[in-house]
Structure 1
Amino acid sequence: MNFRMMTILRELMAARSPLTSDYLANINQVTSRTTREDVKLLDAVLSKNGAGVESIRGTGYKLVIDDDQNFRKYLQDVLQEEAEYETSIPSLPEERTAYLIKRLLLAEGYLKLDDLADEMHISKSTIQNDLKNAKKILNNYDITLEGRPNYGLKATGSEVKLRFCMAEYIFDRSEEVGESLLNSQLSSLAKEDLSSIWKIIMNQIKENGITLSDIAINNLFIHIAIAYQRIKNGYHVSLYNKELDDILDKKEFEVARKIVERVEGRLNVTFPQTEIAYIAIHLLGTKMINQTSVEIEQVVEDDVYQVVMTALDRIENKLRLGIKQDQELIISLGLHLKPAINRYKYGMNIRNPMLEDIKTSYPLAFEAGIIAGLALEDHTGAKIDENEIGYLALHIGAAIERQKIKTGPKRCLVVCASGMGSARLLFYKLKSQFGEKLNVVDTTEYYKLNAASFHNIDFVVSSIPIQEELPVPVIVVNTILGDADLKKIEGFVIDNKQSIYDYFRKEQMFLNQNFETKEEVLEFLADKLAERGLVEETFLEAVYEREAVAPTAFGNLVAVPHPITPQSNQTFLAFCTLRKPVLWGEKRVQFVCLLSVEKNSTADLQSMYDLLGTVIDDASLVQKLLKVQSYEEFIDLLVQ
């Protein structure tokens, strides 16, 4: 079975609905005709091993399993074959790029381009293209490729950055904690030595009452294994004296020293003091939480709390998610950011094996994570990468889900200037008008407002203007409520979601376009929107600014570009489908949905975000949308 057939099998196994030959062709970067031949061959192989590929007319291909036991046994053989194939000859451009990075990072000296091309069974021109991609990635770690005539290329950069890049590219991010190193042929450590390191780490963090996530433990484990290999080869990290002094008196340094002492005893190698300091940085800022219910002040220091609230303010201003007062979110973000801020201080990165899944499954939370990341950049002065944004998005995603399942009536506080009599009149009028949909928690006079609690209050109804800034919206009404007053309140009481189809306009849909690059697509859409007076000159620049933070391609051939801050006077979507995919960051994209949210919008856009999430996640739907020829067909598919 060749590599393309393996890829097709993997896609069919993961798919929830049939996949078209076009989709599979795009994944393998071949023609539909070649894909049909590959599927035919795959079906012939599978038919001897308890399965087959069924072709459903007008829909696509589907995996059918007749003998589960026989098929499982065959899969084990395939996975072994795939692993051997992947370690020898990478096939797709991104795989070749990753392979080049691995080779350059692990090489003791220079590597010749001709030798690498022969090794990978590709032409000189192909490897030069792959090398451009490799250079871009290495540049993110401040690693450059030094060329020397007749010798070749060599990766050069600070020891710390070289190690970070190794942690990212030499060890598989998708494997379980510790597994990638235990199974890696690149490690010169025996399996029992690695198991010992793992036990040493676990014992020490347990003995010293340090709480680390699985990912943080995995990072520490990989860090120590790489440090061992690099120290053995004569490479050491360095720290400024002041930074070193800051760490030496921390409790975490003592824990790191104990871990290192035991590792040294096991591996017969000496770790310099600076290496111990870097291990301590992995532990800095962690905190043990014993209580099931805690006050924010107990677990989140004031400076971190301020960063969290700034980030949540920005998220609320731009996305209107209604999660700013979520106490669980404030605590979880605070606990995450304390060690994160320490890592940035010392220039350390963190690996996130769930990153692609987070981007695909929680695009809205990831977008909120980017806004939080930019607030964090302002605070730390350090560039926040996608891995970190992914972790922020997980916390925010949990808060979005909590918000969705909140039930019960809206809660309001009534404020009146003309005495409790008129306040009670307002109270009873609201109760009779909205019944169980609205819970009037309390009534108060204006002068007592500063003593009122706004915990669990959704909005304030007041018969006089309130100058003070309150943490919730204020609706100013007449003491004797009229129809206009009731309508204003109704907007807050009843979730008034706009129909998603209000955002799908025929004049903002551009089907079967022919472009070569991401830039061509974005410029085309920006020009069309400007012609309609929907956007201004700064729009495209704001879209590129957002792309610079993290490409908006979410996999499944879909990208959802948008400006980094709201730029338009109304919320709208614009769609563009392409005849062939273009490269968007490191992913191929054929379905582009440009999103623009109204400046200072208070509308509930959750239904729109939910639909976009559904499209991003459904490969079969995307393939059908790519084939439609008219606006009417497009809408019919979405309605179905």
Structure 2
Amino acid sequence: MLSKKERQLLQYLENHRDSYTTSKQLADYLSCSDRTVRTYLKQINEVIESPTYSNVLIIHSKQGYGYQLEIMDEGRFQEMMSESTNLDGMSDSHGRYHYILNKLLFEQAELYFDDLADELFISRSTLSHEFKKIRRDLSKYNLIIESKANKGVYVLGDEWDKRRFIMDYFFRDNFFKSMHNYIGGNIGQSPISLEELTLIVLDECREANLKLSDFVIQNLVIHISLALRRISEGFRMAPIEELASELYQAEQMTAQKILDRIYKATGIMCPKEEIDYITLHLVSKGKLLAKESHQDEEMQLREELVSVLESSSLAKEYQFQQDSQLLEGVVTHMTTLLVRLKTKVHLENPLRDEIREQYSQAFELTRTILQEMPLLSAFHISDDEVAYVALHFMAAMERLKEKYKYRILVICATGYGSAQLLRNRIERELGNMVHIEDVIGYYDLSDARLENIDFIISSIDLSNLVFSVPVFTVSVFLTSDEARQIKQSVKEPRFSSRPTIDFERQRFSNLETLFEQYFSETCFMKVERIDKESLLQEMAKQLSLGEAPDFAGNLLDHIHQREQMSSIVFSERIAVPHPIKPISNRHKIGVAIVSDGLKWNEASPSIQLVFLPSPSVYQNEGMAQLTSQIVALLEEENLQQEMLVCQTFQEFKEIFLKIGDKK
């Protein structure tokens, strides 16, 4: 796979493929030497000469002119670039979100929209979507995104508010939760909390305008926390001679200020040697890496680490190679580890024995990984250092536990007290299996709120609405029986396809009888070409039989209101429009099959199956089961194809009744 720098090089050549580009131009663009550019080009050629990417592209070289890119297979080229992006954890929205915020709040460099889109290999529209979420989250801290021609994109607001956001986003969830068990828990017994220590480090680094990533700060906090324990147990270290330089005065002064504040908070006086080690962390991604050899070492460390993690069966089991926080944290730590190994400085780890005995699996896995990395295998790495790196893998294991919790949305009435009561009951009864993303009122429901949600727990009856995720209707007290039924439901193979599970209703055993109560041939239509509004008007007209004269118009108004709440398009092919509240005298479900597809919106240009449930104002027993069948259809591609070619209502009925039938 390609590294980040190699992708940037290819991206530059792609943007300038109408002409030759010299190695000096590439070196200036990548902020490296001509020799490093040639190394990148050699590695790229090894990738494109492999069987996987043969006949995808050629890099032409012409003496005196430079290099020119020829792409023979555009689709495979984009696939190659996309697959390589996964190594940096930026292939999904969360990874890009984290990367952009790191750039804005830590590196504080000039950041331009087009350059960022190229760097992330995404379109401007995708990047605009990412910034929309960032603006929304920053606004909660009185921060805004500004953009100027000569300054690029930057965060505007009070420095105190920026630090509050940094603490909440970068550390409270991603860092503290996973490290408290080891550093801040029974093992560590640190004289200062991780939160307070992080605030001190963050304050002093930002005051000194040191442009450090969150991973550098996390590593530094771990180091200082262990150093305080080490000092209290009488361990001392030799100074690092390589850092005795006037080049690092700003970093050394910041290190001294950090230790001064720690002394005021704890009464622990740190020796001068600790200033050297803190300074090493502060320069590890800055001036120290300005040297080409350090840049090459960092790139090599990253590639070797990913390679070992991908080849290790045990590491694959934990998906370490996909954990960008682990990769960045370990590579950041290894840059300082290499300095210690080369200068033969031994780092005592006060947690060595506890980690080796209580977390032996993580310890031995870490030792194996370090031994298999060629750049480190030439050195003897002590158990103290192995235990230090093992902390990162132990934290990754903790994050993995959190990752596999169900992400839920809790919907309550507007009363704050009842909302908190339900939250507390959920955390008590289901805390080991769910993570509550938010607790909201009914009218706060939106597409943004539903993003990445696994299921909804609601104290309000939502049975008249259809969602693409399951809904559990419970009391605000969440009884033990309700909690038990939720646990049982999520174990079912088709759990993700069940839209509504209401504990006050009984499921119909005869699906065919239920079908005949809701569906009818008069509310079934098959068309070839039609637009969205015309289709909805025709379906509303069919459903209006036996209703009030103004029913069709009211139904359409309520459908539009529901769609404003959150999307009713559930797949590329299926839409389920329905009113925001029941208005029918009698429950019905309309069906339309559009052979040629219709444009529902910009994101859904080819909808072919439309289900329009219209619940009754009186009773809708069994509708939840039918809407569950509709959502289950999303996973049954073969049945969708059968529906599209069916010619009669009877054929449709036979296909519908087969949904979920695995016999």
TM-score by length of 1: 0.38
